[in-house]
Amino acid sequence: MKLLEYQAHQLFAEFHLPAREGSVVSSMEELEGLASTYRCYPAVLKAQVPTGGRGKAGGVKIVNNAQELLEKGKAIFNLTISGYPVKQVFIYSFLEIRQEMYLSIMMNRSSKQPVLIFCAEGGMEINEIALKNPDKIIRLPILPDSGIQKFHVQYIADYSGIPEYADRLFDLISGLYTLFCERNCELAEINPLAISEEGNLVCLDGKIITDDNAIHKHPLFDYWRSEAETDPLILDARSWKFLYIPVSESGNIGVISNGSGMLMSSIDLIEQKGMKVSSVLDLGGGATAERICEAVRIMTQNPKTQLLFVNIFGGITRCDEVAQGIVEAVNRGYAPGKFVLRLEGTLKEEGVAIAGGLSVPVAFADNLVDGVTRIKEMFES
C-alpha cells in the first residue's frame, strides 16, 4: 500500500522525525474555508496522489496570498497525474533551504534484509543522479539483529561532507528505521531531506510503501486504505476478507478461485480464447458455504457478468461447502445466467452431486483448460 505524502508526514511525526505540519483539504469548499483563515504565506500546495512526478505535472505550487491559494488550488484539483485524479491537496508553509538530500530504507529482496540509501543530493533529479553519478549514492545493508549503528551514520556524514550533522542524522535515521520495522514497511523514503537556512534537518517530502499482508495489524492503515477506495465491491469483498479485482469493463465472465495463481491462469486462458473477464475474486483458504454464497453475491453485482467460472482446487476448501454455497446463492437470487464449475480435491464427488441440482445452466469441468472450453461452449450454445 502506497501512503500519501501527508500520511507519511503523520507517521514521521509519530516517530519524532522533523515532519512538516500542514492542512489537508478534500474539496474546493474545504479549500475556500481554509483560505479565509490561513496566514502562513508563502505556502506550498501539493497534490496528494500515490505516484511521483507531481512537480513536473503541475501538482506542486507556491502561493503568496489567499487569492493564489484558491486559484492554484483549483488548478491542482483539476489535474489527473499518472492516471490518478487529485482528490486531496496538502498545504504547509514554505521553507527556505540550504541543501537537499535523499534518504531511504527499503527491503532488498535479493539479500532479504533492509538497505539504507543516502545521497547528499536529492529532489526530483535523484534518479538521474543514480544513473549518471552512482558513486554519489551510499548503500549500506542493515543487519536486522543489530539495526542502525553510529558508525553507519558517521561514515555517511563524512562521505557526504557534513560530519557536523552526524549526531542529528543518527537520531533521524534511527527513527526512520524504527518506523520501517514497526509499521511493516517495504519502503520508507524522505526526498528531499533538507537542511534549512537555520541549519535544521527537515523532512520535506515522504514516501512510504507498506506490506499489504500486514495492514490488518495497523488499524490506521486499514482506515486509510478504505478511505481511498471508491469501488463498493472491493470494500464489500474486503469486509469478508476476499480480494476482489475489476479486470475489464467490457468483460462478461466472472472468476472465483482460491489462489492468485489460479486467477491469473484463468484470465490468461479465457483471454486467449477471445473472451473477456469482467472481474475476479480470490477466496483465500477454508471458505465456508456462507462465504461462498457472499462471494457469488458480490461477483454478480456487476450486471455485465453473464457467466461465473468457479475454479476451485480443494484442500482446506471443501468442494461440498463450495457447492452448497453456490446453491444457496442461486436460491437467494444471487446468480448470473450460467455457471461453469471446476471442483477438484476434498469431497469432489459430493460437491458435484450438490451442484448438479442447480436451477440455472451449469457445466462441470475436469481442469482449468477444460473449464475454459466449457465457458466457450456455453456462450456458443
Single out the catalytic residue among 5, 100, 186, 189.
Answer: 189
Could you give the CA distance from residue 225 to residue 235 in angstroms, rounded to a whole number? Answer: 10
* Residue 123, C-beta contacts closer than 8 angstroms, at least 6 positions apart: 100, 102, 191, 192
Phi, psi angles (nearest 5°) of residue 224: -60, -40
Longest dimension (CA), the chain: 78
Selecting among 102, 165, 177, 334, the annotated active-site residue is 102
Is 165 labeled as catalytic in the residue annotation?
no
Residue 253 near residue 276, CB atoms below 8 Å: yes
Crossing angle for the helix pair 28-35 and 66-77, to the nearest 10 degrees: 170
DSSP state letters, 11-35: HHHHTT--PPP-EEESSHHHHHHHH
Catalytic residue at 177? no
Query: Which helix (H) or strand (E) segment is 352 a member of?
Result: helix 348-355
Tell me how crowded residue 39 is: count the other CB atoms within 10 A of its CB: 7
| Strands in 73-144 per DSSP E | 80-81, 84-85, 89-93, 97-108, 113-119, 137-141
Catalytic residues: 102, 189
